[in-house]
Structures are given as structure tokens and as C-alpha cells.
Amino acid sequence: MKDTGPLDFSAERVLAKEFLANFADANGEAKYLNILQDVANRRVRAIQIDLEDLFNYKDLDEDFLQRITENTRRYIGIFADAIDELMPEPTEAFIDDDHDILMTQRSDDGPDTVDNPDPRQKMPPEIKRYFEVYIRAPSKGRPFTIREVKASYIGQLVRISGIVTRCSDVKPLMQVAVYTCEDCGFEIYQEVTARVFMPLFECPSQRCRTNQTKGNLILQLRASKFLKFQEAKLQELAEHVPKGHIPRTMTVHLRGELTRKVAPGDVVELSGIFLPIPYTGFRAMRAGLVADTFLEAMSITHFKKKYEEYELRGDEEELIARLAEDGDIYNKLARSLAPEIFGHEDIKKALLLLLVGAPHRKLKDGMKIRGDLHICLMGDPGVAKSQLLKHIINVAPRGVYTTGKGSSGVGLTAAVQKDPVTNEMVLEGGALVLADMGICAIDEFDKMEESDRTAIHEVMEQQTVSIAKAGITTSLNARTAVLAAANPAWGRYDLRRTPAENINLPPALLSRFDLLWLILDRADMDNDLEMARHVVYVHQNRESPALGFTPLESSVLRAYISAARRLSPYVPKDLEEYIASAYSSIRQEEAKSNTPHSYTTVRTLLSILRISAALARLRFSETVAQSDVDEALRLMQMSKFSLYSDDRQKSGLDAISDIYSILRDEAARTNKMDVSYAHALNWISRKGYSEAQLKECLEEYAALNVWQIHPHTFDIRFIDA
């Protein structure tokens, strides 16, 4: 700073007033005057002064900008005084509340106290204000981590990113205490600036002094001014913690309109004033000269918005409308999930449906039917289960990732802890409660203790966590979609044993999963070659090979899903019989089989309905179509596909239809209607079939008019149905 003389704050107020009055935004409108008009009309309370606007202001005084960032607390008062002078008259009528009636009465009573020089009887400007001023830091550059905010930043405006770990309740914080004297009836005002204050006991008015009566003061709570106040704990993000250190935390004070904006588990970027606060009471005796620091929040930005809070911009709406008209959107969205992971297309479709979910149903008598899908991926080591889980958590706006061994029962549901501030027993939500209205991914699900796994049963069906411990009996919401990944009982799937022995999870838990996906790692020359090429390509280029279209960004995925989740599709009458017969035939098949692959209960029927509703949401349709039900049944069938193909080979049955499906899939993949005999022979020989079986298949299906065969070269041409 150039001049070292004392600052003239009245001149600073003039600068602030000029900026508020003259600043015009990109459209040429007086941004701040419009906000002030809304405040005068009681539409908004918060006035956010953006330092970027000050930076772009035509008559910018750079020293003024620097002084604001380095002494923000003082400049909030200066801007508030400037706003008081600029405040326009209201243009709309609004209903008077208690505050307005009191203010009118006070301004009428004003002349009685004019001759009293006592400053305590002057009405402080805070009590007249209906607005709150926040100064927002510019969003250019990288935000600080908690470690980087050191003593040199005290009193300055800083931007910090982190994850919210704890939030207190919103409590009233006294800003101006108002007393009335029993003897002389005067109103005395006392401004409260710290967390603690000494109440007044004796009336300081002139009349009481003259009469030498020590008037008794009574605190008038209704006439005093309170602010909403909430305390939160911000913790460093895992990627910002240096090697071998543990994450640091910082206390954040949220006031006024900023309260109730954050919840535990949110990843946020805060701008605020870094301030010291001395310990008070008993803690001060223990702390000695040490003071604590906190951040007084000025603005909050969420990294990922909740689906309900998504407000689509014009260009996003156009993009989503274009995508919705695309006939192949279901495949495109699924392939945009983790494009670096090879194959697993049906699994990605299932995970996409997990993100979309089905609508929750609430019946008239209060009974709830859940809409969240639960999926369990069970498979051999090295089939990218954990990578898929991590990716889904990144895409979902609210997701919590835990592992089986690292989670205890209370860690997943809720723990009773002593609150360090009030010393009361409080509930601290675990992973499943933090993931409310989101996704909870549990890796290494099979390695969890049996006692801990039982905590998940209630969450998966009733979607609540009930607790009765330490004198607290309550029920917490946990409307969570559970995505679990597990290995089979012996590390790898053992084909000599039955599926039930391999899966090794209790039937009560299995029936709660809508889809249990078995991913077996089989040696297959074609697949292995393609996969190896894909992995090498990703290693070399750090991106996935071309998919034939541009994969959608996760922000676009989130926007599309948020738009899809607004719909609540229903099942039309004409589909009821179709779904019922499909369900009963699945039950019949299972009853006939000696070693059933799945455990079908009525929950399976609800799963079919949920998956169909999620598919209808993706199409932006209000009704479930038959194609949705067919796709839901196909996904349920495909989840055990690796076992069925194995059974088919074991029993040596129906090689002909297997060969047909191989040829049809390959033709569909290459998008050709003609297949040469040499190619066909190459494909089926890799799968372990002979030329004689191929010829038999060709003749059988040619007789059914599925394809035509060239009389000399035996080339195949599909007849398009």
C-alpha cells in the first residue's frame, strides 16, 4: 500500500456506495440496485458482493480491492452502512411482522430520548437492517487446502475446499440485546460482537441517574435481534493430505442465510474470513494463552449438486432433449460409464439403472415400497469390480465408499458419541446414513463380520436405521442404494460346487439385492485378445479407445439422470398379466432345477417392476412399456449368464442353438447381414465346436428360413425379420 497514514473510513464508504450504485453487469443492468430493490420488497435477505464484479468495475481502485480482501470484517460494516444510505423505498406491499411494528413504535418514541447523550440509547443500525452482507471471494485460481491457511491470513478473505464432517443444529445467536428499564421505561440497546457478553444490570439513562435510582433492566427477547447460527467442521480432502499425515479439520461458523446449506458428507468450497477466537469459560483456564481459529463463511459452493437441486441451463436442456430423442441413448449412457474398463456392457447398464432408480411408492396407510435398486457384483479377482464402484461414486452426486473390513456395524449405521461442545450424547450418522438419497458402495462385502452385515438388512428393505442405545431411541432415514462387490467363497468361483456354496451369502440378504451379478473370468481367446489390446491402449494413451461416439461427461450424465428422476412412470393395465406370467415361469424353472442359480421370492417381482420403471425414466416416458419389462428380464437372465453357458457345455445340450447365437452376435457386432463360411468356422472353432456341428446348424436354420446359404461357398446371408 502506498500511503501509510490512517485510513479515512468515511471515504471508503463513499467508494463502496459509488460501486454499488454504478456497477453494471454484462447486460448493462444495475446489478446491485436491483438486489437492493428486492431487499426493500422483502424478497431476499442476503446481499452478496462479488469481488469479481469489483475487479471488473470500470473505476476500479486496486488498493481498495486489496484492503477489502485483507480487512474483510471491517469492510462488511462499511458496505452495510453504504447500503443503508442507498436503500430504495419498497415498490410492493408486504405484511408487517413483529419487527416492523416494533420499528415503527421506536421511531415514534424517538424524540423523547434525543437530549440524552448516552450512546447506549442510540438505536444501533443492525437492529433496523433486514439484510445481511456477504463478500464473496473471486473464484479464479485454486482454493487453499486447510494446511495452507496460516497465521498470515488472519482477518483476510480465503477460499478453502474440504468435506463437511459434522454440522450442529441451527441456534439463535444474539446480535443486539434490548433491555427496558422498570423505572423509567427507556429502551437500552447493547450490541453483541463476541460469542459471550456481559449483560447490563443498571439503567444508564439520564432520568435514572438524576433520580439516583438504580433501575432494574429486563432483557426483552422479542425486541432483541437474533441471527441464525450453525457450526460445522470441515475436513481436508484425501487428495490434499501429504504422505503419512492425517487429515486436518477446521471449524466453520455459518450465519444467517448460509445456515442449513451444508450437510455431513458434502464436498464444498467455502470462501470466508479466517479469524481467531479466544477460549471462554473453563476451557480458557486449561488453554492458557492459546486461541482457537475458525472460518466465518461468506459463500458456499457445492462440488456436486443433489439431483433435486439441479437447475438445467438453456444449453443443457437442449442437449438433454437431443439425447432423449436419440434411439440408442440407453446404450450410449451405459457405455459412457467408465469407458476405460473393457466390456461389462450389461453390468454398466445395470449400474446406470442404479443411478436412475425407480420412484418411491408411499401407500395411503403409510407403508413405503422402496424405489432404490440394490446391486451386488460377485466375481473372480481382477474383473474391475472396485474400479466400477469407484467410478459410480464419482458420478453420483452423493456417494460414500467403504470396505468390508474397514467398516464396523456402528460405522455403517450410527454411533452414539459425546458432543465436544455441549457434552451431551449425540448421534453421529454412519456411512449408510451419510449416503441418504445417494449410493453407498461397499467393497469386499464377503469379508465383513457377520454381526456387522446384519446392520445392512434393515437399510436395504425398510430404508431406515433404528437405534436404541445410551438412552437414545430413534429411527434415522437411510434411503440408500447399496452397491456391493464381493468375491466368491473360495476367492475364485469353483465350478464343481453349486452356486449357493460359491456365493456364500445368507438368502435373507441375497433376496434383497435386485441384481446379483456373477462375473466369471473365463479363458476365451477372442475376448482375451481384445481386452489385452484395450488395456495396452489405455496405458499408452491414458484414454479409452474410440467407442464410435463421444462418451458423455459425468456432468452431462448427472444432468440427464436428474431430469429423468423427475418422472414417476406407472405400469399400465395391459402389462399386468405379462409381468405376472413372466414371474411365475421364473419360479417354475427354479422349482424344476436341482441346483437353482438364484433365489426367487416376491422381492424378485418388485425388482422387475423397479428395473422396468428405471428404464421408462431413461426414455422420459410416463408409462412402462413391454420392451422395458423384457429388458428387465433380460438383465436378470444375463446376471447369471456365465453360469448358464457353462451348464450348456456341461450337459452337452443344444450346441446348435449356441452356434446360432454366436453367429448372430458376431454379425450384429460387425453390423453385416452376410457372414462368410470361413469366418463362421473360425468363430465357432474358438468356442470349441466342430465343423460338422456348424453344417448341421446351417441346414437346420436354413430350413426355418432364418438365413440363406450359398450352394457352393456355404456363405450365410441373414434374412432380416
At 297 the pLDDT is 92
pLDDT band, very low/low/confident/very high, at 87 (cuts 50, 70, 90): confident
> Higher confidence at residue 437 or residue 257?
257
For the cut 80, the answer to whether the pLDDT of residue 670 exceeds it is: no
Reading the block at residue 568, the C-alpha cell is 414417476
At 659 the pLDDT is 80
Q: pLDDT of 249-305, one tens digit each? A: 889 999 888 888 888 777 889 999 998 887 777 767 777 777 888 899 999 988 766
For the cut 50, the answer to whether the pLDDT of residue 111 exceeds it is: no
At 647 the pLDDT is 55
Range picked from 103-112, 192-201, 450-459 for highest mean pLDDT? 192-201
DSSP-assigned beta bridge partners for residue 402:
442
For the cut 70, the answer to whether the pLDDT of residue 65 exceeds it is: yes
For the cut 80, the answer to whether the pLDDT of residue 407 exceeds it is: no
At 107 the pLDDT is 66
Mean pLDDT over 126-133 rounds to 84
- What b/e sequence results for 367-400 when a residue is b if at least 16 CB atoms lie within 10 Å of its CB, and e otherwise? eeebbbbbbbbbbbeebbbeebbebbbebbbbbb
Query: For helices 677-686 and 655-670, what crossing angle results, to 10°?
Result: 120
> Higher confidence at residue 235 or residue 491?
235
Q: pLDDT of 697-714, one tens digit each? A: 888 877 777 778 877 777
pLDDT band, very low/low/confident/very high, at 113 (cuts 50, 70, 90): very low
**Residue matched to cell numbers 479515512:** 8
> CA of 216: how far to CAs of 177, 182, 184, 185, 297, in Å?
15, 6, 10, 10, 38
* CA gap 285, 248 in Å, rounded: 25
Percent of the chain at pLDDT above 90? Answer: 2
At 253 the pLDDT is 92
Reading the block at residue 92, the C-alpha cell is 410492493
- What b/e sequence results for 77-115 when a residue is b if at least 16 CB atoms lie within 10 Å of its CB, and e otherwise? ebbbbbbeeebeeeeeeeeeeeeeebbeebeeeeeebee
Q: How much is the pTM?
A: 0.69
What is the dihedral angle through the alpha carbons of 159, 163, 169, 172, rounded to the nearest 10 degrees?
0
For the cut 50, the answer to whether the pLDDT of residue 1 exceeds it is: no
DSSP-assigned beta bridge partners for residue 177:
190
SS3 content of the chain, % helix, strand, coil (to 5): 40, 20, 35
Q: pLDDT of 596-647, one tens digit each? A: 666 777 888 888 888 888 888 888 888 888 888 888 887 887 777 666 555 5
At 273 the pLDDT is 92
| Nearest by Cα to 22 from 13, 30, 10, 11 | 30
* CA gap 674, 666 in Å, rounded: 11
Contact (CB, 8 A) for 16 and 79: yes
DSSP-assigned beta bridge partners for residue 134:
48
* CA gap 217, 116 in Å, rounded: 18
pLDDT band, very low/low/confident/very high, at 11 (cuts 50, 70, 90): confident
At 191 the pLDDT is 86
> Higher confidence at residue 245 or residue 502?
245
> CA of 49: how far to CAs of 27, 79, 301, in Å?
18, 9, 15
DSSP-assigned beta bridge partners for residue 709:
716
Q: How far is CA 560 from the centre of its chain?
A: 15
At 514 the pLDDT is 82
Mean pLDDT taken over the chain? 79
Mean pLDDT over 394-406 rounds to 77
Mean pLDDT over 572-576 rounds to 86
Range picked from 100-114, 356-370, 497-511 for highest mean pLDDT? 356-370
Mean pLDDT over 582-586 rounds to 83
